[in-house]
Amino acid sequence: MKQLFTFIIFLASLGAGAQYQWDWGVAIGGANYLGDIGGKEQTRRDFVFDMHLNQTNVAVGLYGRFKFSKRLSLAGNFTYLQINDSDSESTNPARVARNLNFRNRMFELGLRGELTLFYDNDVGGRGYYNPSFKFYVFGGISAFRHNPQGQIRYQDPNDPIAFSKEEWWDLRDFRTEDTGNGEYEGYGYYGVALPAGIGLNFTFNKEWRIGWELSWRTTFTDYLDDISAVYGDPALMSDPARAFYSQSYPELIESINDPSAGTVFDHQWVGPEVRTKRGDPTNNDSFLTTQLTVGKVIRGRSNFYRSKYSWLKNRSGARRSRAKF
């Protein structure tokens, strides 16, 4: 308890000389993801090389920041974003034949620490301290709610049940996968991520702050796209789930796969002891955002500043002095 109290006093002392400790604002930009859908003609690749940039979607939110010192800040955010992708965007034959798609509308609440690596309080060196510039890195933790959805874009002509290609279905309830031994491979609506990234901003007239951020979120789930392991048993699925399951092209897949090497992305369910591959469970999904930020600096000054420099408030061109009597 003594150590915790000492730490709190230390943090408070860091902010003792800060003139403008708070700012808040909005962030708007785009979001994308890295998971089991992506790429072009090659098989899976790491990082941004497997992303379909044309599938970038919206990311908007609010943020607030508290500055402890010139270099240390604590920030929170609430963000709405959407990630989506489709195997039709790939040119890899096996991925095209798998023919899966998804969208995921997500809500995120995060907290992070920021470390300023470089700052210039007087950009241009004109003596006006306007604008100022800051470049920083950050890392933290966030919680998000997600719900992957998919469209039934291929319909078996021999199936009398027709579904609209414009309709989106919640994939979590479809139970499209299992563990490989007949048990449902499920996932929840909520997850945890570790955001990390870089940012910069300019502050104008010590009042308005305009910036840019790039944030990568590492997650602990492989189901942002509803794809991870192996196909489930279609006999246990409902009609819309079975239609989504069966929109792969088995004839094309069979012509691609080497029988001696085993099936890859083959949608056929081959019995209770064997399941065929649908995704890659060895790598969790992740997502990123890139956003422009516009914020308002709150002119909240510390007690130290008010006691020493309050006489400077509303100062005109001439220097003022206090009366002697």
Task: Show Cβ contacts of residue 239 under 8 Å, excluding neighbours closer than 6 positions.
Answer: 161
- Give CA torsion, residues 158, 185, 100, 82, to 10 deg: 130
In a domain, 6, yes or no: no
Phi, psi for residue 302 in degrees, rounded to 5: -75, 165
- 234 vs 176: CA distance, rounded Å: 8
Provide DSSP, 117-175.
EEEESSTTSSSS--SEEEEEEEEEEEEEE--EEEE-----TT-S----TT-EEESGGG-
Would residue 216 count as lying in a domain? yes
Output the pTM of the full model: 0.78
Based on DSSP, count helices (H) and strands (E) in the chain, helices before strands. Answer: 5, 12
Give one word for 99, left, alpha or beta, with left for phi > 0 and alpha for psi -120 to 50.
left
CA distances 324 to 308, 321, Å, are 18, 9
- Does residue 242 sit within a domain? no
Residue 169 forms part of a structural domain = no
pLDDT attached to residue 230: 79
Q: Quick count: other Cβ atoms within 10 Å of Cβ 320?
A: 9
Domain membership flag for residue 215: yes
Whole-angstrom distance, CA of residue 100 vs CA of residue 150 = 8
Note down the domain range covering 201: 18-156+185-229+283-302
What's the rounded Cα separation, in Å, for the pair 177 and 187? 11
Burial 137-165 (b: 16+ CB within 10 A, else e): ebebebebebebbbbbbeeeeeeeeebee
**Tens digit of each residue's pLDDT, the chain (325 residues):** 555 445 444 444 444 444 568 999 999 999 999 999 988 766 666 667 788 999 999 999 999 999 999 899 999 999 999 999 999 898 887 788 788 999 999 999 999 999 999 998 878 777 666 788 999 999 999 999 999 999 987 766 666 567 777 889 999 988 888 766 666 778 999 999 999 999 999 999 889 999 999 999 999 999 999 998 877 777 788 888 888 887 765 455 555 554 444 444 444 434 334 446 778 888 899 999 999 999 999 875 544 445 544 544 454 444 444 433 3
DSSP-assigned letter for residue 179: -
**Dihedral sign (CA 206, 210, 214, 217):** positive
What's the domain count of the chain? 1
Phi-psi region of 160 (alpha: psi -120 to 50; beta: other; left: phi over 0): alpha
In a domain, 211, yes or no: yes
The CATH number for 33's domain is 2.40.160.20
Evaluate whether residue 293 is within a structural domain.
yes
In a domain, 309, yes or no: no
